[in-house]
Structure 1
Amino acid sequence: MQPSHVLVPMDGSPLAQEAFEHALAVFDCKLTVLNVITPLDSPLSEGGVLDVDDTRLETARKQSEELIERASNRTETVARDIETAVEIGDPAEAILAYVDAHDIDHVVMGGHGSEGGRIARRLLGTVATAVVGETPVTVTVVR
């Protein structure tokens, strides 16, 4: 069944970019690009040195808009309903909360595996593993 609203979480990585382009190519529905800013006290924060402020929020919004523009220029995309959103918090928790609060029925995201750790984390990455394991909607992980 074709989804009606796809969420694409973005972290600025090439895999996230590929996930967005995949969502554009495959799904003909509303897309939301979500950037999650991690707070200062989060272990996932940018070195634990950047506090959340209006500048970081505006930068995240601009990055989302630039991503949409770049992807649209590289694909033959018809006019689409694409929104951007910025949340603050733990990335996995913010993605899960956004899915619950905004009638999302599919998530497309990049997976960042590593060499260490359990098999699922090695294959998908910690955030993708949490989202796949906890969200009630279908998740496509782009690798």
Structure 2
Amino acid sequence: MSYQHILVPVDDSPISYAAIDHALELAKLCQAEVTILSVVAVDPYVGVDFYKVAPSITEHFMEAEANAKAQLHDITMSFDRENIEVNSKIFHGNPAEGIIHVADEVGADLIIMGSHGRTGVKKLVLGSVAQSVLSQSPIPVMVIKHQSS
């Protein structure tokens, strides 16, 4: 199977960088285009007006956006060095929904993402973005699992 367009959602965790490494190697083999995605999560329980009047919240989101842009720039440079066509996107909202939405938007035919490997109560409370994407995605999803040492 050969892939044409790979979507790689990232955060600032080591497992995201493991997913990037896998995507880089697979993109070289398939000569695929890659889109790197960073999702800036927005709390759905807080009203928009609150963000406008709460400078600390606004500052937090501005900082998150700046960090996402810097991270995406650094990652895209590694693909550029390998002459792999790469794009980057930032999505604001729910991570799993954003990943599915952007995969459809860019015409991805594979998603490669890391899984933090949460289990039990942590998974129940925090949810699992990877699990949500796996259950909702109409395209293949490669999950790079957290390696415990």
- In the alignment, which residue of structure 1 is the partner of 2:141? 139
Asked whether 1:34 is paired with 2:37, we answer yes
- In the alignment, which residue of structure 2 is the partner of 1:46? none
Higher Rg of the two aligned structures: 2
TM-score, structure 2 length as denominator? Answer: 0.75
Secondary structure of the 1:114 match is coil
Question: Superposed, which structure 2 residues align to 1:78-89 within 5 Å?
Answer: 78-89=82-93
- In the alignment, which residue of structure 1 is the partner of 2:3? 3
In structure 1, distance between residues paired with 2:111 and 2:86: 14
Within the candidate set 98, 105, 113, 2:102 is matched to: 98
In structure 2, distance between residues paired with 1:101 and 1:50: 29
1:108 Cα deviation after fit: 0.3
- In the alignment, which residue of structure 1 is the partner of 2:73? 65
Equivalent residues of 1:108, 1:142 under 8 A apart: yes
Equivalent residues of 2:76, 2:87 under 8 A apart: no
How many percent of aligned residue pairs carry the same amino acid? 28
1:78 Cα deviation after fit: 2.6
In structure 2, distance between residues paired with 1:102 and 1:4: 11
Equivalent residues of 1:31, 1:82 under 8 A apart: yes
Q: Report the structure, 1 or 2, having the larger helix content.
A: 2
Distance 1:134 1:64, change over 3 A: same
Distance 1:50 1:25, change over 3 A: farther
- Which runs of 5 or more structure 2 residues have no equivalent in the other structure? 47-55
Equivalent residues of 2:79, 2:86 under 8 A apart: no
- Which runs of 5 or more structure 1 residues have no equivalent in the other structure? 44-48
1:32 Cα deviation after fit: 0.7
TM-score, structure 1 length as denominator? Answer: 0.78
1:103 Cα deviation after fit: 0.6
